[in-house]
Structure 1
Amino acid sequence: MARGNTRQRIQDVALELFAEQGYEKTSLREIAERLEVTKAALYYHFKTKEDILISLFQDLTRPMDELIAWGQGQQPGLETKQEVLSRYSQALADAAPLFRFMQENQATVRELSIGDSFKERVHALIELMQVPDASLKDQVRCVSALVTLHAGSFHLWNVDGDPEDKRKAVLEVAVDLVRQAHGVTP
């Protein structure tokens, strides 16, 4: 993620340090040192580590918000669900460092209420995936499609292979689940 402006550079370096040594063990001083700026320069953009993390979360989850708004404006159906899965798969891939941080630092995420905000987004996506009057099995298939995207993006990090190939394989499995829920066999 090679982003250019100072605010984005601060976010990127902070996320790197949070991943390397944990959120609690990372100080603003260390972030400033890695950036080769003064602490005062860092304070100009962010007063606390929490401010950095919250800004990261807001910036990197914006595609989820856009996807939810888009999906809510569409006619429910198989094509819409497939497109939601495709776009969400890409959003997860684009924000992989943040989602990895969230997975590995669940206590911090809960403390900062980022977790609640993320859960609200996931519930909105689940609503987009529901099939009215579907059997319980088909409802499970639709919810499982989202869970598949999450599990795939979190648990395939250490599996050998091209990240894009892994993303596409996970997406294909998720789409198959939704197609089955709509009576289309893979």
Structure 2
Amino acid sequence: MARGNTRQRIQDVALELFAEQGYEKTSLREIAERLEVTKAALYYHFKTKEDIIIGIFQDLTRPMDELIDWAREQPRTLETKQEILRRYQDALVGAAPLFRFMQENQATVRELSIGLTFKERMLELTGLIQEPDFSMTDRVRCVSAMFTMHAGMFFMQNVEGDPEEKREAVLEVALDLIAQAHRAP
């Protein structure tokens, strides 16, 4: 098996176990047992549980980093900001397992080095969809557009309906908020 595939399997199994029994209660030995490998084989890829989580975080947030890099290079138009929201929604869907982990292990996340960098990404993206001359109301609309995306990930799971229809509705509301912020005063 290629190194990348083994690393991915370790991360997937670790996330499964963290979800089942919590980060604190999961040991490297249990991860190795679930994978049917030795602890030494696991150590070859990751020395600690924190290394595993940081690796997962880096892999699942890479699309967000790529989005930020892309957005910085684009004209600051309404169309660009709407595309940022579309791409951000895709990145959120891809990172869903990580967000579940973060939600269920908030105390652990605060102690790990991943918490702050996620906040920094959010602040950066929020800054990229608003303008310095926006009114306070329009700034709130932009911040609300980002939070609408997050609400779509977490809270809409509890709302009955087709998942794709819910995803489209969340995006539509976020896009509307950005469009309202761009209206001429």
Do the two structures share a fold, i.e. TM-score over 0.5?
yes
Q: 1:7 to 1:130 in 2, by over 3 A?
A: same
1:116-141 CA distance string (max 9 Å, x none): 01011111101101123121111110
Residue 128 (structure 2) aligns with: 128
Quote the Cα distance in structure 2 between the aligned partners of 1:23 and 1:12: 13
1:60-79 CA distance string (max 9 Å, x none): 00011000010000110100
Residue 117 (structure 2) aligns with: 117
Does structure 2 conserve the Cα–Cα contact (< 8 Å) formed by 1:32 and 1:38? yes
One-letter identity of the residue aligned with 2:55:
S
Residue 166 (structure 1) aligns with: 166
Quote the Cα distance in structure 2 between the aligned partners of 1:34 and 1:146: 37
Superposed, 1:8-157 pairs within 5 Å as 8-157=8-157
Deviation of the 1:182 alpha carbon: 1.1
Structure 2 alignment gaps of length 5 or more: none
Quote the Cα distance in structure 2 between the aligned partners of 1:98 and 1:164: 20
Quote the Cα distance in structure 1 between the aligned partners of 2:172 and 2:31: 39
One-letter identity of the residue aligned with 1:164:
E
Deviation of the 1:159 alpha carbon: 3.1
Q: 1:159 to 1:31 in 2, by over 3 A?
A: farther
What fraction of aligned residue pairs are identical, expressed as a percent?
Answer: 76
**Number of residue-to-residue matches in the alignment:** 181
Does structure 2 conserve the Cα–Cα contact (< 8 Å) formed by 1:32 and 1:42? yes
Q: 1:128 to 1:11 in 2, by over 3 A?
A: same
Deviates more, 1:60-69 or 1:28-37: 28-37
Structure 1 alignment gaps of length 5 or more: none
Quote the Cα distance in structure 2 between the aligned partners of 1:33 and 1:60: 24
Q: Secondary structure at the match of 1:69?
A: helix
CA RMSD of aligned residues (A): 1.4
TM-score, normalization by structure 2? 0.93
Quote the Cα distance in structure 2 between the aligned partners of 1:96 and 1:168: 17
